[in-house]
Amino acid sequence: MNLVLMGPPGAGKGTQGEILSKRLDINTISTGVMLRTAIKEQSEIGKMAEKYINDGKLVPDDVIVSIVKERLQKPDCAKGFILDGFPRTIPQAKALKKMLADRNSKVHAVVGLEVDDNELVDRLLKRGKESGRSDDNLETINKRLEVYHNQTSPLRDYYKQEGKYHAIHGSGSIDDIFESIKCSIAKATKE
């Protein structure tokens, strides 16, 4: 099964991705984690990505697509994966569709975690204090939310047209949100 977790920063994609990964026995692939690792290692991609991330902007499509394509070719993705943080633009979604079609595969479901912006800001500020993530400050959070609404939220319509988008209310307990996701995935695999 190939899943995409979609939602604004702080919606809970990472948390739900970990739970889904354990339950479905497939890997969660987080472009955010891959980029933060590249930044920490100060690789060429990491240096380039750092500037975009610190400004609250998306890393260019071609860079992200190449990173994800390389990652999806690894053997641990053969039985499926959960993408967290990719795609974030319609060109990325189209690139993913082609990548998977070349392997006679597809995205089976897109789970969209939907959370109010005020709650997201509170969550991200709290996460920044607890984790020390430099991009979890008010100015960058507001930029990231603006970028999400302008560039990423159009993916909802793209995936709705494909019949793959499943909106999940991302507020409440982690367990309740997971149960909603589980029901959506079960429905998607029966269709």
Set 127, 143, 160, 182: catalytic member: 127
Catalytic residue among 36, 88, 123, 164, which?
88
Catalytic residue among 13, 36, 123, 164: 13
Catalytic annotation on 47?
Answer: no
Active site (annotated) includes residue 98: no
Quick check: 123 and 10 in contact, CB under 8 A?
yes
- With 0-12 / 13-18 / 19 or more C-beta atoms within 10 angstroms meaning exposed / middle / buried, residue 51 is exposed
123: annotated active-site residue:
no
Annotated catalytic residue within 57, 94, 133, 182: 133
Catalytic entry in 36, 123, 144, 164: 144
CB 159 within 8 A of CB 96: no
Q: Is 36 helix (H, G, I), strand (E, B) or coil?
A: helix
Sign, Cα dihedral of 144, 149, 150, 153:
positive
Question: Is residue 71 annotated as part of the catalytic site, yes or no?
Answer: no
CA triplet 111, 7, 164: central angle to 5 degrees? 30
To the query of whether residue 23 is one of the catalytic residues in this protein, the response is: no
DSSP element (H, E) containing 54: helix 44-54
CA dihedral 87, 91, 94, 99 (to 10 degrees): -70
What would the two tokens of residue 140 be?
């960058």
3-state class (DSSP) for residue 75: helix
Cis peptide before 91 (omega within 30 of 0): no
Point out the residues that are catalytic.
13, 88, 127, 133, 144
